[in-house]
């Protein structure tokens, strides 16, 4: 029984270490997934707006890491918050705070070939 408990602890520590290694720099993986130069120019700013909306703590890089960790643990959390963000931006457009044309890149994202997959960012 003790050996089994010890083995479980070792296994959990190894999994934690592996997960930490995979998500040390999700922004690098995110940017690597973007192909078009214009997309690479625009998406960091768009991602920052979304991460700021989530009210995560820390720098841009820390917020990206927190988002990835939470999204991996609970993909529904990520999807729900993305939908809330879209609804929030849509309300802003309806109030005239932003142009409706502003919503197009937010909703549609980038071309299918350039669409980043945040939950699979790896080093």
Q: Say how many domains are in the chain.
A: 1
Give the three-state DSSP class for 54: coil
Asked whether residue 17 is assigned to any structural domain, the reply reads no
Tokens of 6: 């010890």
| CA–CA distance, 68 with 121 (Å, rounded to integer) | 8
- Domain of residue 52 covers 25-120
Asked whether residue 85 is assigned to any structural domain, the reply reads yes
Q: What is the pLDDT along the chain (123 residues), one digit of tens a residue?
A: 555 776 676 776 666 555 554 556 888 888 888 888 888 888 888 889 999 999 999 999 999 999 999 999 999 999 999 899 988 988 998 898 888 777 776 666 533 444 445 445 444
Asked whether residue 20 is assigned to any structural domain, the reply reads no
| CA–CA distance, 114 with 34 (Å, rounded to integer) | 5
E strand residue ranges, 21-107? none
Asked whether residue 11 is assigned to any structural domain, the reply reads no
Asked whether residue 4 is assigned to any structural domain, the reply reads no
């Amino acid at each position: 029984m003790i050996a089994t408990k010890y083995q479980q602890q070792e296994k959990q520590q190894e999994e934690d270490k592996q997960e930490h290694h995979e998500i040390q720099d999700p922004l690098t993986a995110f940017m690597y997934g973007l192909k078009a130069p214009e997309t690479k120019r625009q998406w960091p700013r768009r991602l920052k707006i979304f991460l700021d909306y989530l009210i995560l703590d820390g720098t841009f890089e820390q917020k990206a890491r927190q988002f990835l960790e939470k999204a991996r643990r609970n993909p529904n959390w990520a999807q729900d918050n993305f939908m809330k963000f879209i609804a929030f931006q849509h309300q802003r457009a309806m109030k005239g705070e932003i142009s409706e044309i502003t919503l197009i890149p937010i909703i549609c994202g980038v071309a299918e070939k350039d669409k980043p997959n945040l939950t699979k960012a790896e080093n």
